[in-house]
Structure 1
Amino acid sequence: MKFRLMLLGLLMSLGAMAQKVNVRGALIGSDQAGLEMANILVLNPDDSSMVTYGFSNSEGQFRFQLEGNKQYLFKFSYLGYKPQELLVVLNSEDRDLGKIPLEEDSELLQQVEVVEEMPIVVSGDTISYKADAFTTGEEKKLEDVIEKLPGFEIDEDGQVKVEGKTVEKVLVEGKEFFDGDSKVATKNIPADAIDKVQVLRNYEEISPLQGLSSDDRIALNIKLKEGKKNLWFGDAEAKVGDPERYYAHGNAFYYSPKASFNFIGDLNNIGQAAFTARDYFRFSGGFRNLSSRSGFNFNFAQDDLGIPLGLNNRADEVTGRFGAANFSYSPKKNLTLSGFVIGSDNVVSSPYTTSRTYIGLDSIGGGVEQLTTENYQHSTAALAKFSVTYEPSKETYLNYDVFLKVSDQLNTSRLYSSFSDFNFSNNLGTQEAKRPWSIQQNLEFFRNQGENVFAVELQHSRKYQDPRFAMQSQQQPFGQPFVFLDTNMYRLVQTREVLSESLEGRASYYWVLNGNNHFEFNLGTVYNTQDYDNRLAEGEVSDAVEFANPLLQNTVDFSLLDGFGGLHYKTKLGKLTFRPGVNFHYYQVKDFQAGTEDVRDYQVLLPDALLRYEFSSSKGLDLRYNMSAQFNDVNQIMDGVILRSYNSLFTGNDSLDFARVHNVSLFYRDFNLFNFTTLFAGVNYSRSLDPINNAVQYIGLQQVFSPINANGYNENLSGFGSWSKKFKYIRLESRVNLNYSTVNNEVNGRTNVNNTFSKNYSGEIGTNFKKWPNIELQYRYSQNDYSGARSNSVYTNHSPSVEVTAVIASDFVLRADYSYNNYGNPGSTRTVYDFLNASLEYQKQDSKWLFSIQALNLLNTTFIREDALSANLISTTAYNVLPRYLLFGVRYDL
C-alpha cells in the first residue's frame, strides 16, 4: 500500500513537472545593451502575491520555469530606469518575450517602491536581502539569518564574511553597532526584528572620499521592521540546570532617526563566554592604520599571556560575565555623537595534557616531553569609546575619537613535565599577571576643494604593559647567568614595565583629473618611543632579592622615527582599474642601553599596485602587490635575559635589521544571482627577506631563544575557494583552505627550516523548508603536516556533523546537532570523540514567552584534541571539556 502511494505521488509530481513551461527574455537599455542584475518580479495578477523572482545575467537575459495555462504579471526595474510591467498569458508551450526595452529615468527613488517585495534587491553597490524570504521562523539571532543568505559565512571567531571578504563594519539603521563589530552584532540582534540585511560594497563612510578609495571594503546595514522603530525591543532569557549550571542573557535596543541605544548583559557558566580575551585584543577602536597604509609595520608586543584565548567549552569550568552599552545621538542633522562601554570578566579552569616534540633536541638523545597542566585563568577587561562626527556638507568631514582599553589578567598553572628519554621529571608552578592599559586618540579632516580633496589625519596612542612572571621548580631550571641561593626550591620572579607612545600624522591631497583619473599625494610621519625596564629576582613575590648579574636587570630607551612621502595614480579604462604607487621612507632607529646609544638610519622605497578587472558588476578579478618594511619593538632588541616560560629563556638582539616583505594576492569573485551560484577564490603569496625569526639553543633540556635576521627568506603561500548554489529548498556549499609556509631559523647554531602545510576541506548540504523539518549535513577534513630538522608529524581529522531543526505542532521547535571527530597521526592510534546536543522550545503563536529544555554534551565527551607548530616544537594537546548537563529556560521578548 505504501509503495502504491509513493508511486502515485511520484506520478503526480511528474505530471506537475510536465505542465511547467519556460519563459525567457532580455532587458535592454536605450543603447540596446543588456541590463545586468535587473530586478524581475513575477506576480499572480489576481491577488498580487509573489510567484517567483529573479535577475538578469550579464547580457540582460532572464529565464523562469512557470506553470502553464496561466497568466502572470512581470515587473521589471533597474536603477536609473523607469519600472515597467508586462502581463503575460501562457499556454502549454515555452514562451520567448524577446527584447524588452526600459526607459531611462533620473528619479531613482521610484525603484524602491517597485522592488520592495523582492527577496533580493540590487541597487548599485548595495544588495538588500529580505530576511523573511530566506528564514523559516525558528531563527533566534542575526547569525541564524546570515547563515541562510547566499554568499555569506561566519568563521570560527564569529566574524562575518561576504563574497569571500571580511565585513569591516555592521550598522543598524545606518548607525554603528558597538564599533561595527560583527560578532557582537550577530550574537545579539534578535532575528524577528530584522527586515533586511544590506551588503554595502565599496563602503566608505567619509563622503569626500567616495569614489576615490580603492580599499573595496564591505559593510552590513541591518534594516529593522517597522514595528521595531521608535520603541524599545529585545529579549531576556534565563536558564538553570544541574550540576549548578546557569545562563542569563538580556538585550534591549532602541532606534529612531535621531538616536539609538543598545544594552547587552550576559552571565553564565556553560562555556559560552560572550566576550573573550581574543575579542578584547581584536577591538581596535575602528581607527584607520596610518602607518601600514604606507607600507610600514611596527610589531608592538601584544598584551596576551601566550595562553589559549577564548577557550569556551574546552575547559572543566568556564564562568563569563559581560555587560555593554552603545549609543548614537544626532542633535543636529550634521552632528553625531556616539560611543560604547564594554566590561567583561571571565574565569576558566582548564586541565590538559600535551605531547611536545622539540625540533633539534633529538641530537642529544631525545626530544619528546609529556606535559600535564592544571590551568586557571582570570581575565577582567573594560573598553570605552567616544566619537564626534561633524559633516556640515557632503564636501566636509570632521571626526574625533578617543578609545580606552584596560584589563587585569592572571594565569596560574601547575605543571608536571617528564622526558622519558632522559629519565627526567619535574613539578613546577607558574603565575603570569598583567594590568595593561592603552588610550588612543584620532582626528580626521577631509575637505572637497572643487573636484579635489584635501585630508589631514592625526593619531596619538599611549600604552602601558607590566607583565609579571613567577615560577617555582623542584629541579634547577636554568644555569648561567643564574646563581641560586636556595637550592631546596627554586623560585624566580620577573617584573617588566614597558611604556609606549606613538604619534602619527598624515596629509593627503587627491588631485582629480576627471571621473576616471586622479593622483594621490601624501606626506607623513610616525614617531614611536618605548621605555623598557626588566628585573629578575629570586624568592617569593613579596620578598624577592634581585640577581646581581647585570644581564638579568635591563633598562632600555628606544625610539623609531619614520618620515614618508607617497605618490599614487589611479586610472579606469573601461572595465580595467589600475592604481600603481610608491612610498619613500626615511627611518631612524635609536636605542640606549648599558650606557651606550646606537643610532641607525635607513632609506627605503616601498612600491605597491592594484589591478582590477570587472567582467561585470557581479564578477571581478583583483591583483594586488605591496612591499612593506617590518620593524620589531624594544622587547626584541634589549640585551638582557628574560624568562620566556618554565623551561626557556629569551635574550634580545640589538643588531637586528628590519625585514622586507613582498606580498602578492589574487582574488576572484562571481556572485551570480541569475542562477543563485556564488564562487569566490583567492591566492596569497608573501616572501620575507632578512626575516626576523627566533633562533634556539638547547642547554640540556632548557632552551635559549634569540631573534635573528635569518639566512634565506620566509615564504607563505595560501589559497582558498568557496562555492555555493541555492535551489528553492536546497542549498549546497563547499570550501577549501590551503596554507603552506616555510620559516628559516637556527637550532643549536645550525640552519633549520620549518615547513607547515595545512589543508581544510568542507562540504555542506542544507534544506530551507517552511513547513517541514530542516536538516544540515556537513563533512570537514583537515590535515596539518609539520616538519623541521629531523622531526616530522602529520595530524588529520575527519569530522562529519548533522543539525536538525523541526517545528512540531506549530508551537514546539526541536533542535539537535551531532558532530564526530576522528583525530590522530596516520599509522598510529586514532582518537575518536563526538558531541551531541539537543533542545526543545515551546512558544505559542503571538506569545512573548518561550520555555525551553536544553541538553548539552549528551554523550559526556571528556576531551578534544588540537595540534600546533612553533619555532622549535610540534605539539598535540588534549583539552578537557565541560561535562554533560541539562538546562531549563524561559525567555521573554520585549
Structure 2
Amino acid sequence: SKSGTSFNVGSNDLGISMARNNSAKEIETKFGAANFSYNPLPTWTVSGFAIINSNRTEMETVTRNVLLDPITGEPETIQDTEETSDQKNEFALFKLSSSYKRNKDLQFDYDMLMKTSNQEEFNALFSTVRPETSQSQDIYTTKKQKPFSFSQNMNLYYTLDDKNIFALEVQHLYQDEDPLYNANLANNPFPDIPGVPSLSLGLEPAARFDISQERFVKTNKVDAKLDYYYMVTAKSSVNVTLGNTYSYQNFNSSIFQTLDGGAENSLNDNTKNDVDYAFNDVFVGLHYRFIKGKFEVNPGVSLHNYNVFNDQLGSRVEQNFIRVLPDVFAQLQLKKMERITYNYSMSTDFTDVSDFARGLVLNNYKSLFQGNRNLRNGLYQNHTLGYFKYNMFNFTQIYGGLTYSHRMDAIKNLSAFNGINQVSTVDNSDFADETISGSAGYNRSFAKYYKASANVSMSWNKFNNFRFDETGAIGSEISIENSVRQLTEQFTQRYSGSFATNFKDIPNLELGYTLLLNDYADNKFYTHTPFAKMDYYFLDAFTITADYSYNHYYNDEKTVDNEFDFLNANIMYRQPDSKWEFKVGGTNLFNTGSLNDDSFNQFSTRTSRYRVQPRYLLLSIRYNL
C-alpha cells in the first residue's frame, strides 16, 4: 500500500473445501438476490443489495501427498487418501451504499457490507501411509463454523481551490469467527514427546481417539488516512499523508478429548490459548509528483512509528520502533498509447494474532501448530516494470511486465514430522526469499472479422524452508537453530494462443491451446489444453453457445497420467423487448468422471483427482419485472 505497511487480518476458518472449477460429485444450490437504487436528492444516491445462498456439495477425492527429504529432496513418506465429503453452506450478504456529491468540489461516499454464514463439513477418508504403515487408518472429521463480518468505508473528497485538495479515507472491520473442529482416528496422532512438555497434549488411551478443538477469534481494525495535495504548478504537486492503522484481536482456543465412555479429557494446559494482540502504526508520508516532457516521476517516503504487543500467559511481549520506507513511481510516455512504467516499494510486513498464540492449535487431524510470541516483522522490497502499447487503427495490443520481490526476515514455518503427522511453529528467517515473475501478450484484430492472441507467463520462486532435525536435537523445542535449512525452487510456465472470429450473421468460433508446466522440487507436471468456443445469434431471438476443452494431465515420471474433456452447451430464446427468456443448457455432455490438480508447499507435493457431476440438462425460465 501507499503507506508502506502490510498488515492483513488472517482467516481462522477451517479450510472447508470449495468445488474446483465449479465442479463436484453433486451440487445443490438455492439462490436469491434483490437490489435497489434511490435518489432522495439530485445530488444524493442510495443503493444496496442482498444475496442469500444455500448449497449442499458432495465431493469424492483421491489424493497422493509426498513428503520430501529435507536434504536430498527425494520422497520420504507417501500418503494416499480416498476421501468423501458432505458440505452444507448457508450464506447471506448485505450491502448499503450512499454517495453525496454536492458539486464538483465536495463528495462524500459511505458503504457498509455485512456477511454471515453457517457452514458444516463432514469427511470420511481412508489413509494409506508408506513406509509408516502403522499410520494407515480410517479417519472421520467434522468442521462447523458461523463466521460474521461487518465492514464500513467512508471517503470524503474536498477541493478548496485550484491548488488545495483534501481526501479522507476511513475503513473499519469487525470480524467474529468460531470454528469447531473434530477428528476421530484409530491411532494416536500426537503421542507425548519425552522431555518436551510444551509439545505434549496428554491424550489418554482409547479405542478411537476423538479429539476436538474450539476457537473464538474477534477482530477490530481501523484504517484512517488523510491526504493533502498542493498543486505547485500545472505539472507538479506535493502530497502530504497522515495515517493510522490500529487493530485489536482476541484469540481463544482449547483442545479436548472425548473418551470411550463419553467423559471429557481437558488435556494439558498447553492446549489452551487466551491471547490479546494489538497493532498500531502511526505514519506520515511525503510525495512529490512532477511531469517533465515524456517523463512522470513520483518519489516518496513515509515515516512510521510502530507499537505491537501480545498479552498471554500472564505477561506482555512488546515492540516499539521507527522505520523509514521509500517508494517511487516513474512513467515514460513514448506515445499517446504507448508507455513504460516502473514501481518500487519497501514495506514492513506484519502477521496477525494466530501466529503469536503460544498454546497448541489443532490445524487438522495430522497437524499441530504452536505460535511464537517473539515474532518480528518482515521487510519486503518489490520492483515492477511494465510496458503497454495499443494501436487504434489495427486494434493491436502489446503488453509485458516483470516483477521482482525480495523478502527479508520472512515468517517461515518450522516443522517436525513423524510419518505424516506434523508439529510446527513459526520464526523469522535470516535467509531471503525471492520471486521473479514475468508476462507478455499480443492481441490483434485483422481483416475486419478475425482476432488472434498469444500470451506467456512465467514465475520463479526461491523458498528457504526449515525441517526440525530430530536426530540432532532430541528433547529440544523446535527452532531455526536446531532445524535443517532446505532451499526449494518452484518454476511455473504458462503458454496460450487463440484465434477467433467476429461475424455478425454466421456462427463465431474461437480455437485455442494452453500449455501449463509446473516444476515443484524436481517434480514436473504438465497440462495440455486445446479448447474451442462457439456462439451464434440468429433470427433475432435465438442464441446458441458452446465451449469444449480437452485436458491431458501428467507428470514426467508418468505416475500420474489422466485425460479428460468437457463440453457445455446452451440454447436461449428471447424476443427483442420481451420480458420472457427461455433457456436449455447441458453441462458435462461427455459425462467426464473426474478432474486432476496439483500443488506444492515447502515440505511436500500433492496430486489429486476429484469426482465431478455427471451429465445433466437444465431448463430455466426468466421473467423481468
Is 1:819 paired with 2:549? yes
Counterparts of 1:288-687 in structure 2 under 5 Å? 292-311=1-20, 313-360=22-69, 366-424=76-134, 425-450=136-161, 451-480=163-192, 481-539=200-258, 545-687=264-406
| Matching of residue 755 in structure 1 with residue 489 in structure 2 | yes
**What is the alpha-carbon distance in structure 1 between the residues aligned to residue 33 and residue 579 of structure 2?**
24
Shift of 1:700: 4.0
Shift of 1:392: 1.7
Which residue matches 1:738?
A: 458
Counterparts in 2 of 1:844 and 1:586: CA distance versus 1, 3 Å? closer
TM-score (norm 2): 0.91
Shift of 1:811: 6.2
d(CA) in 2 for partners of 1:746, 1:308: 28
- Residues 393-427 of structure 1: per-residue CA shift (max 9 Å, x gap): 21112233322222222222111111132323111
Distance 2:278 2:187 in 1: 40
**C-alpha contact 1:441 1:459 (8 A) present in aligned 2:** yes
Q: C-alpha displacement at 1:880, in angstroms? A: 0.6
Counterparts of residues 707-726 of structure 1 (less than 5 Å) = 707-726=426-445
Residue 687 of structure 1 and its aligned partner are, at CA, apart by: 0.9
SS of 2:354's partner is helix
Structure 1 residue 368, shift from structure 2 partner: 1.1
**Superposition deviation, residue 691 in structure 1:** 0.7
**How far 1:298 sits from its partner (Å)?**
1.2
Whether the 8 Å contact between 2:180 and 2:212 is mirrored in structure 1 is: yes
Task: Give the 3 Å change call, closer, same or farther, for CA 866–542 of structure 1 in structure 2.
Answer: farther
Point out the more displaced range, 460-469 or 488-497: 460-469
TM-score scaled by length of structure 1: 0.64
Write the distance in 1 (CA, Å) between the matches of 2:604 and 2:26: 28
Correspondence for 2:526: 796
- Judged with a 3 Å threshold, the aligned counterparts in structure 2 of structure 1 residues 887 and 309 are, in CA distance, closer, same or farther, namely closer
> Structure 2 CA distance, aligned partners of 1:415 and 1:392?
61
Deviations along 1:560-613, one digit per CA (max 9) or x if unpaired, are 111111100000112211000011111111111111111111211111100011
Distance change >3 Å, CA 596–CA 803, structure 1 → 2: same
Secondary structure at the counterpart of residue 131 of structure 2: helix
> Secondary structure of the equivalent of 1:551?
helix
Residue of structure 1 equivalent to 2:474: none
Question: Alignment partner of 1:783: what SS?
Answer: strand
- What is the CA deviation profile of residues 429-471 of structure 1, one whole-angstrom value per residue up to 9, with x for unaligned ones? 1112221112223333222222211233333322111111111
Deviation at 1:649, TM superposition (A): 0.7
**Contact 1:623 1:664 (8 Å CA) reproduced:** yes
Where 2:589 maps in the other structure, the secondary structure is coil
Distance 1:542 1:449 in 2: 74
Q: 1:694 to 1:765 in 2, by over 3 A?
A: same
Aligned residues of 2:132 and 2:419 also touching (Cα < 8 A): no
Distance 1:542 1:708, change over 3 A: farther
Separation in 1, partners of 2:402, 2:16: 30
> Could you tell me how far apart the structure 1 residues matched to 2:414 and 2:506 are?
60
Q: What SS does the corresponding residue of 1:643 show, helix, strand or coil?
A: strand
Q: More displaced, 388-397 or 763-772?
A: 388-397
Deviating more after overlay: 575-584 vs 331-340: 331-340
After superposition, the Cα gap between the structure-2 partners of 1:809 and 1:391, relative to the gap in structure 1 and judged at 3 Å, is closer
Tell me what 1:182 maps to: none
User: Given residue 36 of structure 2, which amino acid in structure 1 is its aligned partner?
Assistant: F
What one-letter code is carried by the residue in structure 1 that aligns with 2:565?
A: D
Kindly indicate whether the alpha-carbon contact (under 8 Å) linking 2:203 and 2:267 is maintained by their aligned counterparts in 1: no
- Contact 1:334–1:392, Cα closer than 8 Å, also in 2: yes
Q: Deviations over 1:666-717 (max 9, x none)?
A: 1111111111111121111111101112111113431112111123111111
Cα deviation, residue 320, structure 1: 2.0
Count of residue correspondences: 599
The change in CA–CA distance for 1:711 and 1:516 in structure 2 (over 3 A counts) is same
Q: Is the 8 Å Cα contact of residues 438 and 459 (structure 2) preserved in structure 1? A: yes
CA offsets 1:841-882 (integer angstroms, 9 cap, x no match): 556677665555433222211001000012322101101111
Tell me the alpha carbon deviations over residues 313-368 of structure 1, each in whole angstroms, 9 at most, x when there is no partner.
42111122222223232222222222222222222111101111112379899311
Match of 1:287 in 2: none
Contact 2:201/2:267 (8 A) holds in 1: no
The CA deviation at 1:519 is 0.6
Question: 1:636 Cα deviation (Å)?
Answer: 0.1
Superposed structure 1 runs of 4+ greater than 6 Å apart: 361-365, 540-544, 808-811, 844-847
Aligned match of 1:854 in 585, 601, 606?
A: 585
Judged with a 3 Å threshold, the aligned counterparts in structure 2 of structure 1 residues 853 and 384 are, in CA distance, closer, same or farther, namely: closer
Which residue identity does 1:315 align to in structure 2? A
Report SS of the residue matched to 2:270.
helix
The verdict on how the C-alpha distance between 1:611 and 1:546 changes in structure 2, with shifts beyond 3 A counting, is: farther
Q: Aligned pair in 2 of structure 1 residues 843, 344: CA closer, same or farther (>3 Å)?
A: closer
Unpaired segments ≥5 residues, structure 2: 193-199, 469-482
Checking the alignment, whether the CA contact within 8 Å between 1:482 and 1:547 is kept in structure 2 is no
Aligned AA (2:499): I
Cα deviation, residue 743, structure 1: 1.6
Q: Is the 8 A contact 1:782 1:796 kept in 2?
A: yes
**1:785 paired residue among 513, 519, 542:** 519
Structure 1 unaligned runs (5+)? Answer: 1-291
Supply the RMSD in Å over aligned alpha carbons.
2.3
Matches within 5 A, 1:101-180: none
The Cα of 1:828 is off from its aligned counterpart by 1.2
Code of the aligned partner of 2:4? G
* Partner-residue secondary structure (3-state), 1:366: strand
Distance of aligned partners of 1:632 and 1:417 in 2 relative to their CA distance in 1, 3 Å threshold: same
CA displacement at 1:759 relative to structure 2: 0.9
- TM-aligned CA deviation for residue 310 of structure 1: 4.6
Q: Secondary structure at the residue paired with 2:76?
A: coil
Q: Which has the higher strand share?
A: 2
Change (3 A) 1:406 1:819: same
CA pair 840-360 structure 1, distance change in 2 beyond 3 A = same
In structure 1, the partner of 2:535 is: 805
Instruction: Name the CA distance, whole Å, in 1 between partners of 2:576 and 2:116.
Output: 45
Question: Conserved in 2, the CA contact under 8 Å of 1:512 and 1:518?
Answer: yes
Q: Retained in 2: the 8 A contact 1:361–1:698?
A: no
